[in-house]
Amino acid sequence: MKVIQYQIKRNSNIFLGGDRHVGNAARSQDAVDHFKNALNSKYDGCANNYYVDHGDNLEAISSDDRRFEFSTHKTLPFDELDFAIEEYRNIAFKTICILYGNHEYKWNRFGDLTAKLVKYTNEKYGSNIEYGTNSCVIVYRDENNKFLFRHFAWHPMSGRLNYAAKDPDQKLGNILAGLKQRFRDRWGNALLMSCGHYHQLIVNKPKEQLLHMEQGGKISKEYATARKVDGYIHPDFRWYVCTGSFLTFYVDGLSTYVERSGSIQPADTGYAIAKVRDGRLVDIDRIKLV
Ligand SMILES: [Fe+2]
């Protein structure tokens, strides 16, 4: 856990991505290139872009790992680290923090490779990326140091989101509810809660609730939502994001471990963008890359 204080412009785009898996042959270079270009371009009329990296930067699967497959995994720890650092060229100075995921964790016998990724990237490009550990809370403030909102970012180390359902609407409902359930008791005052790991690209928006109340002998009604964002926020009034990945499911000539698994379903390649306008988090877009 790490608490990070960070100043952003009142009109900003916060890119929410991760699961880059350098070293996995099923990684989509086109998707990574698209992401890097987008981070350096205007999005929705705004060029103030920032990035929160949700981990699994390295594939980190050795030949003694049951997920190892000869056509998919060829690289060595420090080759993957070098490539991951090189790929931070042009985007390091837009990156707020990097988390570690379960994949890097598998190579802890070589040292904390995410800490080294952050350290060497900062040294190489003169950036100021924070090491977010496994989960972090980013406190966003504007240029005048006025509080905007909190963001809890995390890389769960195990588990899958439940999507078992016969009907697609029910399936989506299960996924949205499952994502919220993962987060709801982990932090109390974050308006935005995002995670990597599941390789699903999901945005669960805050819900409004119609409330009837008595005031001065009269019945009144209002819609409850997270108007005050500096304090406890009811779980139904927060934003929840699962940030997708840069992997593809099937690759001609490979048999990847997700393909071999009977319980992992094909998932979206892509990332999400949280839009902050005049200091308020107004919407989050899913950027699906085919
Ligand atoms: Fe991953």
Distance 156 CA to ligand 1 centre (A): 10
List the one residue out of 184, 176, 289 whose CA is nearest residue 241: 176
Q: How far is the CA of 26 from the centre of ligand 1 (A)?
A: 12
Q: How confident is the model at residue 80 (pLDDT cuts 50, 70, 90)?
A: very high
- Residues lining ion ligand 1 (Cβ < 5 A) are 19, 56
- Ligand 1 centroid to 103 CA: how many Å? 7
Query: Does 123 have pLDDT greater than 80?
Result: yes
Instruction: Indicate if the pLDDT at residue 74 is higher than 90.
Output: no
Q: How far is the CA of 245 from the centre of ligand 1 (A)?
A: 7
Task: Note the pLDDT of residue 163.
Answer: 74
- Per-domain boundaries in the chain: 2-289
CA of 244 to the centre of ligand 1 (A): 9
Q: Give residue 173's identity as a one-letter amino acid code.
A: G
Q: How far is the CA of 22 from the centre of ligand 1 (A)?
A: 10
Place 183 in a pLDDT band, splitting at 50, 70 and 90: very high
Determine the distance separating the centroid of ligand 1 and the alpha carbon of 282, expressed in angstroms.
Answer: 28
Distance 210 CA to ligand 1 centre (A): 38
Place 1 in a pLDDT band, splitting at 50, 70 and 90: very high
What average pLDDT does the chain have?
94
Distance 142 CA to ligand 1 centre (A): 32
**At 261, is the pLDDT very low, low, confident or very high (cuts 50, 70, 90)?**
confident
Residues 53-68 have a mean pLDDT of 93
pLDDT for res 4:
98
pTM: 0.96
pLDDT at residue number 290:
80
Q: What is the pLDDT of residue 49?
A: 98
What distance in angstroms lies between residue 141's CA and the mean position of ligand 1's atoms?
30
Provide the pLDDT for residue 161: 86
So what's the pLDDT on residue 155?
98
> What is the architecture of the domain spanning 2-289?
4-Layer Sandwich (3.60)
pLDDT surpassing 90 at residue 212: yes
Interval 192-212 mean pLDDT: 95
